[in-house]
Chain A
Amino acid sequence: MLRFALRRMALLVPTLFGLTVLLFFWVRILPGDPARSLLGQRATPEGIAKVNERYGFDQPIWKQYFLYVKALAGGDFGSSIKLHEPVLDAFVNKLPATIEISVAALLFAILLGIPLGYYAGRHIGGWLDTTIVSGSLLGVTIPVFFLALLLKYVFALQLHLLPTQGRQDARMTTDHPTGFYTLDGLLTGNFSAFTDACAHLVLPGLALGTIPLAIIVRITRASVAEVVHEDYVRTAEAKGLLRGTVNRRHIMRNALLPVVTTIGLQLGLLFAGATLTETVFAIDGVGQYLFNAIGVRDYPVLQGFILFIALMYSLINLLVDLSYGLIDPRVRVS
């Protein structure tokens, strides 16, 4: 198990190295350049040359790449051109917000998706199954930004139930030792800060969780429908086990195997794809920072953030593979 994990980690090195090449040239192929964005419309050629010189953009491109990789090897991910803060610090600062809404979205998707998928899988062709399947189709197809605006309109503007944006009520002054506002509320014993942070997570979580929800429902449904016809389920029934035992131990433990893989993949996607939700709900997370960086062609931020996201995605996939070994003895690596 440990060797497997280490081997996979080692494989990450060439992958990420390849990614640095792709990223480095890709961000520079984008139309526009940082100097022009920085100086605005009235930029003079002298000003642009000065900026380019300062950041080394006047060097030959292979030399720029060489310097970039050399800095990376020394753990230096560069600094934002626009905001002048180190890319790594920025990422670490923005990450908690993104993780919070991603986890909220995934919790919503799992807690609702698995029971719905299970029910639909046990009653294939029934009216509730049909409803669930059509609902999940709607969930996949509805654009996230549209759903986000709709949720804001209904729950925040009309019903005044939930906050519309941000991570915390502006009137609240609290400490943030970890940057995870929910966790901070609990750690500092400030329970109202905790509930406030949770309330701020509800709408983004719903908006962001719809697609994973729909996917989890469909995978669970298909998987359950297949497993209920397995011979070992009949064996379990022949043993006279209680319905709950048959469901949990014999149906769900097997049916959840493909669902776990799906959840892992979804989590990776959520970290990378929360940009729209973060923008609509004004959540100061990774996605929004990245989005702003694209606007000003902030090369170091783009390179750094995408690299970090890729790294997290890979690590989550590794974790999923390892957890797969825990729940399915057949793929356990000895």
Chain B
Amino acid sequence: MSGDYLSGRPDEGNTTVVGDTDHDGALLEVNDLSVHFTRHGNKPVHAVDEVTFSVGAGENVALVGESGSGKSVTSLAIMGLLPKRGVEVAGSVAFAGRELIGLDESQMRNLRGAEMAMIFQDPMSSLNPVVPVGKQITEVLRRHRRISKPDSVTESVDLLQRVGIPDPARRVTEYPHQLSGGMRQRVLIAIALACQPRLLIADEPTTALDVTIQAQILELLRELVSGTGTALIMITHDLGVVASLCDRVHVMYSGRIVESNLRHQLFARPRHPYTGGLMESIPRLDQARGLPLTPIPGSPTDTLAWSQGCAFAPRCPNAAGDCKTQTPRLEMSDDRALRCFHPLDTEAARIGAARG
């Protein structure tokens, strides 16, 4: 197995490098991105609004939030995978200095799979059931790289080996239904990383898997992206996943970013009550046994429109009168950003929790 393709071989590197490879900015800069679904005859739905963040080359970034917070839609907008009809995407997504919003379809297809790749939530349904898994890997290699058929087969075997699939030479000829869920997710990871993309988006890659497999898949992802220059956007509702993988965290609620920070600082001092609530709902080993977890009251559907106030206000322990009348802005300072009128005073909150 001399397959060292995940660390970039200069001789066989991507032929479709786009944009300014040595431009100064971050690899991916998302600026004021909004996605509105405008189905005929229905009220437009603001799935994503005012989303701004950036990802440096090789950086691992997390988008965290409950279902419906807009994190998946954000990633699909970056990849250009949203349907064309009934969807309005505005703002800017710059990848390696090149604007992707409004980029024409064929150029987008050249980027996808080669420069930017994505892993989806449900490995059971994300592989084509009637095509052998090997073919599903070789087709992306053949699409983006000048590589002969036999070479692409050899390489797909190498890739499967690399993502930890035993007996890969046999597995390439098998169909998805012959593989377990964990194996299928490994195949999808192999497909995503086949062309050594500069950006990998993982959309809740472990939610559909059972717990022991989850840990293996996360470990595999960490192994594969660390030190290869591939940047990772991890989309999850699980802060536990974030803790093991990501440098920077953006917390989303109801389509907007409510808090951004470096991982250590966010965990040490969550400022937004929603972030605080997410953390309280993680089971921890360092807490006394028998203590119940503290869930966030209500459900993600109990929101206020952002135009009227803070969407989290109906569920927020800190909510005051102004939260329901004025829209909080995302205040940026240094590394951090916060959208809240009454943030948590974490020290006090902690003491209070200890007393109670």
Binding site for B on A (CB under 8 A): 230-232, 234-243, 245, 249-250, 253-254, 257, 327-330
- Interface: B130 (CB within 8 A): yes
Q: A240-B109, A240-B110 are in contact. Are A231 and B143 (CB under 8 A)?
A: no
The smallest beta-carbon distance between A187 and chain B, in angstroms, is 37
Whether A239 and B175, one on each chain, are in contact in the complex, defined by CB atoms closer than 8 angstroms, is no
Contact of B127 among A232, A238, A242, A253 (CB under 8 A): A232
Interface residues of B in 124-141 (CB under 8 A from A): 125-131, 139-140
Which listed segment binds A: B54-62, B90-98, B111-119, B163-171?
A: B111-119
How many Å lie between the Cα of A254 and that of B129 in the bound state?
A: 8
In the complex formed, the residue of A with least CB distance to B105 is A243
By a CB distance below 8 angstroms, the chain A residues around B122 are 231
Whether A330 and B128, one on each chain, are in contact in the complex, defined by CB atoms closer than 8 angstroms, is no
Whether A235 and B130, one on each chain, are in contact in the complex, defined by CB atoms closer than 8 angstroms, is no
How many Å lie between the Cα of A240 and that of B191 in the bound state?
A: 11
By a CB distance below 8 angstroms, the chain A residues around B183 are none
The smallest beta-carbon distance between A42 and chain B, in angstroms, is 67
Whether A231 and B112, one on each chain, are in contact in the complex, defined by CB atoms closer than 8 angstroms, is no
How many Å lie between the Cα of A232 and that of B126 in the bound state?
A: 4
By a CB distance below 8 angstroms, the chain A residues around B118 are 238
Whether A330 and B177, one on each chain, are in contact in the complex, defined by CB atoms closer than 8 angstroms, is yes
Whether B109 and A242, one on each chain, are in contact in the complex, defined by CB atoms closer than 8 angstroms, is yes
Q: A238-B118, A239-B191, A240-B140 are in contact. Are A328 and B130 (CB under 8 A)?
A: yes
Contact of A239 among B108, B125, B131, B139 (CB under 8 A): B139
- Interface: B332 (CB within 8 A): no
- Interface: B217 (CB within 8 A): no
By a CB distance below 8 angstroms, the chain B residues around A239 are 112-113, 117, 139-140, 143, 191
The smallest beta-carbon distance between A221 and chain B, in angstroms, is 17
In the complex formed, the residue of A with least CB distance to B122 is A231
The smallest beta-carbon distance between B76 and chain A, in angstroms, is 8
Whether A231 and B125, one on each chain, are in contact in the complex, defined by CB atoms closer than 8 angstroms, is yes
Whether B126 and A240, one on each chain, are in contact in the complex, defined by CB atoms closer than 8 angstroms, is no
Whether B109 and A238, one on each chain, are in contact in the complex, defined by CB atoms closer than 8 angstroms, is no
- Interface: B81 (CB within 8 A): yes
Whether B129 and A240, one on each chain, are in contact in the complex, defined by CB atoms closer than 8 angstroms, is no
Contact of A238 among B117, B129, B177 (CB under 8 A): B117
By a CB distance below 8 angstroms, the chain A residues around B108 are 240
In the complex formed, the residue of B with least CB distance to A228 is B83
By a CB distance below 8 angstroms, the chain A residues around B139 are 239, 241, 245, 249
Q: A231-B126, A235-B191, A329-B130 are in contact. Are A241 and B175 (CB under 8 A)?
A: no
- Give the interface residue-count category, chain B: 20 to 34
Whether A234 and B126, one on each chain, are in contact in the complex, defined by CB atoms closer than 8 angstroms, is yes
How many Å lie between the Cα of A242 and that of B143 in the bound state?
A: 8
How many Å lie between the Cα of A115 and that of B130 in the bound state?
A: 21
Q: Can you identify 7 A-B contacts, CB atoms within 8 angstroms?
A: A231-B122, A236-B128, A241-B109, A241-B113, A241-B143, A253-B131, A330-B177
The smallest beta-carbon distance between A223 and chain B, in angstroms, is 13
Whether B109 and A235, one on each chain, are in contact in the complex, defined by CB atoms closer than 8 angstroms, is no
By a CB distance below 8 angstroms, the chain A residues around B143 are 239-242, 245
- Interface: B278 (CB within 8 A): no
Whether B110 and A235, one on each chain, are in contact in the complex, defined by CB atoms closer than 8 angstroms, is no
By a CB distance below 8 angstroms, the chain B residues around A237 are 81, 112
The smallest beta-carbon distance between B296 and chain A, in angstroms, is 29
How many Å lie between the Cα of A253 and that of B131 in the bound state?
A: 9
Q: A240-B111, A241-B140, A329-B177 are in contact. Are A235 and B129 (CB under 8 A)?
A: no
By a CB distance below 8 angstroms, the chain A residues around B192 are 238
Residues 234-247 of chain B, each 1 if its beta carbon lies under 8 Å from chain A, else 0 = 00000000000000
By a CB distance below 8 angstroms, the chain B residues around A235 are 120, 126-128, 188, 191
Whether B131 and A249, one on each chain, are in contact in the complex, defined by CB atoms closer than 8 angstroms, is yes
How many Å lie between the Cα of A250 and that of B126 in the bound state?
A: 11
Whether B111 and A238, one on each chain, are in contact in the complex, defined by CB atoms closer than 8 angstroms, is no
- Known A235-B127, A238-B192, A240-B140; 13 more pairs at CB < 8 Å: A232-B125, A232-B126, A232-B129, A234-B81, A238-B113, A239-B191, A240-B109, A240-B144, A241-B109, A250-B128, A253-B128, A329-B177, A330-B175
- Interface: B79 (CB within 8 A): yes
In the complex formed, the residue of A with least CB distance to B132 is A329
How many Å lie between the Cα of A230 and that of B126 in the bound state?
A: 8
In the complex formed, the residue of A with least CB distance to B124 is A231
By a CB distance below 8 angstroms, the chain A residues around B117 are 238-239
In the complex formed, the residue of B with least CB distance to A235 is B126
In the complex formed, the residue of B with least CB distance to A245 is B139
How many Å lie between the Cα of A232 and that of B112 in the bound state?
A: 15
The smallest beta-carbon distance between B230 and chain A, in angstroms, is 15
Whether B125 and A230, one on each chain, are in contact in the complex, defined by CB atoms closer than 8 angstroms, is yes
Q: Give the 9 A-B CB pairs with smallest separation, nearest first.
A: A240-B113, A240-B112, A239-B113, A231-B125, A329-B175, A232-B128, A239-B140, A231-B126, A238-B118
How many Å lie between the Cα of A241 and that of B125 in the bound state?
A: 18
The smallest beta-carbon distance between B193 and chain A, in angstroms, is 12
By a CB distance below 8 angstroms, the chain A residues around B130 are 253-254, 257, 327-330
The smallest beta-carbon distance between A110 and chain B, in angstroms, is 19
By a CB distance below 8 angstroms, the chain B residues around A330 are 129-130, 175, 177
The smallest beta-carbon distance between B123 and chain A, in angstroms, is 9
By a CB distance below 8 angstroms, the chain A residues around B129 are 232, 254, 328-330
By a CB distance below 8 angstroms, the chain A residues around B177 are 329-330
How many Å lie between the Cα of A281 and that of B232 in the bound state?
A: 68
How many Å lie between the Cα of A237 and that of B122 in the bound state?
A: 16
By a CB distance below 8 angstroms, the chain B residues around A253 are 128, 130-131
The smallest beta-carbon distance between B22 and chain A, in angstroms, is 24
By a CB distance below 8 angstroms, the chain B residues around A327 are 130
The smallest beta-carbon distance between B89 and chain A, in angstroms, is 16
By a CB distance below 8 angstroms, the chain A residues around B125 are 230-232
The smallest beta-carbon distance between A323 and chain B, in angstroms, is 13
The smallest beta-carbon distance between B314 and chain A, in angstroms, is 33
How many Å lie between the Cα of A80 and that of B117 in the bound state?
A: 71
